Structure 1
């Protein structure tokens, strides 16, 4: 987690700043753009942010945008004139027909098999099309859903591989996992203050503690979950407290044996 920023309420934005919530999100990304671009130029957001104003602004900042589209999005095929087509007077047709997601034009779309981390394989379809709402060409990935509307992923980088588009978008759910772990293990909801500055400090301290835990787990305990790591730290602290309470000189081999046993218990 890079940071937690509290969003103003709608009335404050409209009355004091004369901004919509989307305008505020754009200003937030702009304020963090240099820091984010030092990490990656790929910005991922859900379907709420798949609007021309937001997408156009973040692209101008230097990002490549990956997001979701609604199933009823208006997408059009690109017009590629046939070499043998006769020349005609007047303006050339800029776009083709509207994309019908229930009947894709397979002369434009290509199919591929996407395999998720759990090994589940799905046949998906991809093509470069034009989005009327975003006013630009995008690479769209169509993933059919049994007895439901297809999932539409897209990237403003038309050269991006379709499996990477799906993979990048699905990493967005790490935010939910981070919030869940912070609530359960690092006191994200334990604050009693209502002061904005103190809440800001508490929220970011909670996420920082979680980041430290996950980094230690990644380096030293790759097979442990956060809850197992927390139990290991508590039991190690308990063991060291008991040893120090005896009033005798600690024996290194005994301590190492205890720590090894605690690791086995946590696992």
Structure 2
């Protein structure tokens, strides 16, 4: 339906604000980084509680109705449910201690690109730094860390493109992606389109903006399981960052010209990863 993206976007902003207000009430002495980490911790605890309530619901419903098939279905999916629950327990520990998680591979790559460069804040909870790569002007973008934060990359990319009146030669997005069983954690794949998860509002903004100015949109993804994405970052994922940077340089060199402007956006939760 027309206009639904902006309605969703507004509701997500309200939800985010409500979570942070509640955290500040519970921990009035916490700084902004701690508030972001605690917000992530609360969300992880809520997800665990939801799993518990759903499993209990079907167990009690099956028991109440004497339905063998309800209990059988619950038993069949229980190994997967337990995998998710164990991952969330690991995630809550990471959020409590401010450790980087698997989903932070995008911000980690952007952080490495913008190291020792001047940073500035852009749209909500995002930072950008201008660096030179292969003779190109690269705008490295990530959520502001090291607190648990994903920011609004759609708004930030739109702002950067509008500031330059559409004179951007490429947008390259880096993110984690769910791997199939049998695939190796840390493998890198290249594709096209907006590499970003969530409800879809940020994806819409990015695709709308690049379509408006006919800017090529590419993606590099690092493969990991759903569990690895929310648990403390594994060695294989962290080591993939330098390989991604090497691929970024190759793509920029092959598909842009000298002095072109390129946006490289590291997408994901930047907990434990600064600028």
Query: Greater helix share, 1 or 2?
Result: 2
State the structure with bigger RCO (CA 8 A, min sep 6), 1 or 2: 2
Give the TM-score band, short-chain normalised.
Answer: under 0.3
TM-score, with normalisation over the residues of structure 1? 0.22
